[in-house]
Amino acid sequence: MKIFAINPGSTSTKVALIEDEKTLFSKTVAHEAAKLDEFATISDQMPYRLETIQAALDEAGYTLDGVDAFVGRGGGLISCDGGVYEVTDLVLDHAQRGANGTQHPAQLGPQIAHQFAEQYGKPAYVVNPPDTDELQDLARMTGVKGLYRIIHLHALNLKETATRHAASLGKKYSECNFVVCHIGGGISISAHRAGKMIDGYDIVGGEGPMAPTRAGSLSLGNVVEYLKDHTVDDLKKLSTKTGGFVNHCGISDAIELRKRAADGDKEAAMVWDTMIYQIEKCIGAMSTALEGKVDAILLGGGMVHDDDLVAHITKTCSWIAPVVAYPGEFEMEAMAAGAIRVMTGQEELKVYTGKKIWDGFEWDK
């Protein structure tokens, strides 16, 4: 089966034509920042992005004739269970306006997939959207009545990494317990029990370890002190854009940070070591969420190419469970694999309702 996957980012759109497990064509289509600034909303960018994707296909000599399905990242949707969803009118409406309250380029995923699907008379899907929510009830509570935890993680890559490792054990994802990490520009750490992501960190909201552009968890006392000289907007940016490596060293590149540390920059070395230390603590917490019944600790994402990082986490955490590295990302492959599972009857297609998967406890009603 041939699947065309679309993954829109802030200044580029990744596309891939995948036949079964073989990638026939893959390209990161760059977009000029000045051009994107011309559009009032994210969704207004769609015709421009479509044009650049088609130009990339034409230049490479590829056609989408014969493609069996189109899959896009599912941004803008209301929280839902993990799985594969068909792009319906409701999915399109929520993606176009960002029904989850967040404006992100991933909203263009369902829209572009639908446009191609209409053109070629094939189905369009989204797989494990960014707002996948499978939290157990205990993971939702806070110490403030009516204020509940939500999570935003790299659900697509986390679940694909878990699915692949389960297969390597001769098992299904639903038969295993894993702590799964995505360690890249953002860092997601999550607990997976019997095929559900039952706990994790809200990396958009500021939880979890420090990352290249993210401050990670801060105490309320730290936040109050920071706000004496900064705005709430400044604080929000620390969670996604200006924290972590950027805040300490003015860079977001992990390779450059490691080079500076090797050259004797003590602050760079401390920042790197602190990030790893915080990752390890979060892995420990997620292991506890699984009551210590962990089949493996899985490391994915771009920074997992760094041998020092993998070695350090292995040394610190392998007493919990075997640590296995899956460097890089499987997002494009994950989207294609999800579509194929549904089309071959291995997985049931889910219906997007547009209603929150969880909307409070019974005593809130």
C-alpha distances (whole Å) from 7 to each of 124, 350, 361 are 13, 20, 35
Percent of the chain with pLDDT over 90: 89
Q: What three-state secondary structure class fits 265?
A: coil
The per-residue pLDDT for 76 is 93
190-215: pLDDT as tens digits: 999 999 999 999 998 899 999 999 99
What average pLDDT does this structure show over 280-307? Answer: 97
Check if the beta carbon of residue 7 is closer than 8 Å to that of residue 17. Answer: no
The per-residue pLDDT for 34 is 87
Q: What's the rounded Cα separation, in Å, for the pair 121 and 113?
A: 12
What average pLDDT does this structure show over 292-316? Answer: 97
36-53: pLDDT as tens digits: 989 999 999 999 999 999
Check if the beta carbon of residue 156 is closer than 8 Å to that of residue 182. Answer: no
81-119: pLDDT as tens digits: 999 999 999 999 999 999 988 888 999 999 999 999 999
Q: In what helix (H) or strand (E) does residue 255 lie, and over which residues does it extend?
A: helix 254-262
Percent of the chain with pLDDT over 70: 100
Q: Which two tokens stand for residue 222?
A: 């730290």
The per-residue pLDDT for 32 is 84
Q: Is the pLDDT of residue 151 over 90?
A: no
Q: What's the rounded Cα separation, in Å, for the pair 247 and 250?
A: 6
110-149: pLDDT as tens digits: 999 999 999 999 999 999 998 899 999 999 999 999 999 9
Q: Please name each of the domains of the chain with its CATH number.
A: 2-132+332-362 (3.30.420.40), 137-329 (3.30.420.40)
